[in-house]
Structure 1
């Protein structure tokens, strides 16, 4: 893979930088490396459960410093941007998701629509109950617009894969007979937001991810270069069987950095 024309990096977080609460090897060194070669980085995750500030605190706790809050884009912040473009301020929005997603939507100017929502936004909810799922489905069946933060069926944790927002969206779609408008990767909005903030063009931007059908497929659609790390959800067997192929495949951040350094040295 040719790294020499890369002017900016977009990196996923879960499965690339960490698994659950455990940092992956090379995490702090990777940020030091990019800083040393003068390449900006944006972090873009489909996980909507936390705010950018929470992720910033997590990075700091893992020894990564010098990252600004506006370098972090979640499917929750991208969903808030979508709502602001599509609906007037004050539109009641019911959120099925974590406190972080609820906070982002409220701060964007959309009050809780517990009983008479114009929009239902669904993301991953670690405290999901049957009653919460039933209520959200009832609102959608009553005519509320149905928006999903992302369609990831699973996400990686240290003890294996856990159900993600896509699993919740699938249950709601089955129960309501309606498909959601999905905001996160592989859709274009998150990639476009990240490149706009860095001031880079697609052909000079590298997406680093662990999931073929979101990170890599989204990068391909948007015209970015794509590097797959095998530290998350994708195995070599799944990669070999997939029509979605990255520009480079690496065992982890140290392997990626070594390849990048060799390319810079002309080896």
Structure 2
């Protein structure tokens, strides 16, 4: 088995299922920590700050990490925009605290009328007025950014609308396609690898969803580890032209070298 120095790890479906514990996940993180491996949770969820993600992992799943080990699509979006043009610092954002805090921490100022960027992410209180402001800003020349393309999110009620569904409305209204940041895009992977400070051949992307986690790793050119505890099934993955580097029924099956 190959020895990896860094592990990029998905959250929902890999570390837990909604509010349900995946006991092997807690053991997996503990084993990685004992071996001194670098861990970075890479999630498409733009709504929560890293501190909130860490609190949820610790309080509800007995997985104890630090905020600097969490990398959200909100952080990747802020990092991406900060690197584009140091002179462009105004943004209009549809999203929750996780996205807005990430943008503020990178020195962006919020502007509704003529921002440099219009960023759209998951917003549980989205309104027509917010869509209107984003649409008009993009029509006036703001660069259109989408945090992630997930059309649905699984919760206890079923598959509810995700960020991709909200972004699609703005795409339809503006007749423009957003630049997407989150998995399976390479932007979030590139920024995550930079955070780890490792080379591509030293890391692996661990996740439960072929279409986001595994495709992100494949698109970025790194090894992938698919665990069958969430979205993707063996039957679905068998049909894919490119297979994951590693397939596991449970994270307990992986021997950490």
Does the alignment reach a TM-score above 0.5? Answer: yes
Distance 2:45 2:126 in 1: 15
Which aligned pairs between 1:9-20 and structure 2 lie closer than 5 A?
9-20=7-18
What is the CA deviation profile of residues 149-191 of structure 1, one whole-angstrom value per residue up to 9, with x for unaligned ones? Answer: 1112223324433221111122211121101111122222332
Distance 2:26 2:105 in 1: 31
Partner of 1:258: 253
Decide whether aligned partners of structure 1 residues 171 and 137 sit closer, same or farther in structure 2, where only a CA change above 3 A counts.
Answer: same
Question: Given the alignment, which residue of 243, 247, 250 partners 1:249?
Answer: 247
Distance 2:195 2:141 in 1: 36
Distance 1:245 1:137 in 2: 39
What is the CA deviation profile of residues 119-150 of structure 1, one whole-angstrom value per residue up to 9, with x for unaligned ones? Answer: 10011112222332233222212221101111
Question: Given the alignment, which residue of 77, 80, 83 partners 2:81?
Answer: 83
Decide whether aligned partners of structure 1 residues 235 and 128 sit closer, same or farther in structure 2, where only a CA change above 3 A counts.
Answer: farther
Which aligned pairs between 1:156-167 and structure 2 lie closer than 5 A?
156-167=154-165
- TM-score, length basis structure 1: 0.87
Partner of 2:213: 215
1:64 aligns with 2:63: yes
1:42 aligns with 2:40: yes
- Where 1:55 maps in the other structure, the secondary structure is helix
Distance 1:172 1:199 in 2: 35
Report the aligned-residue RMSD: 2.0
1:111 aligns with 2:109: yes
Distance 1:224 1:46 in 2: 18
Partner of 1:122: 120
Moved over 4 A (4+): none
1:226 aligns with 2:224: yes
Contact 2:28 2:251 (8 Å CA) reproduced: no
- Where 1:48 maps in the other structure, the secondary structure is coil
Which sections of structure 1, spanning at least 5 residues, go unmatched? none
Partner of 1:137: 135
- TM-score, length basis structure 2: 0.90
Distance 1:238 1:162 in 2: 22
Question: Given the alignment, which residue of 178, 198, 203 partners 2:201?
Answer: 203
Decide whether aligned partners of structure 1 residues 57 and 190 sit closer, same or farther in structure 2, where only a CA change above 3 A counts.
Answer: same
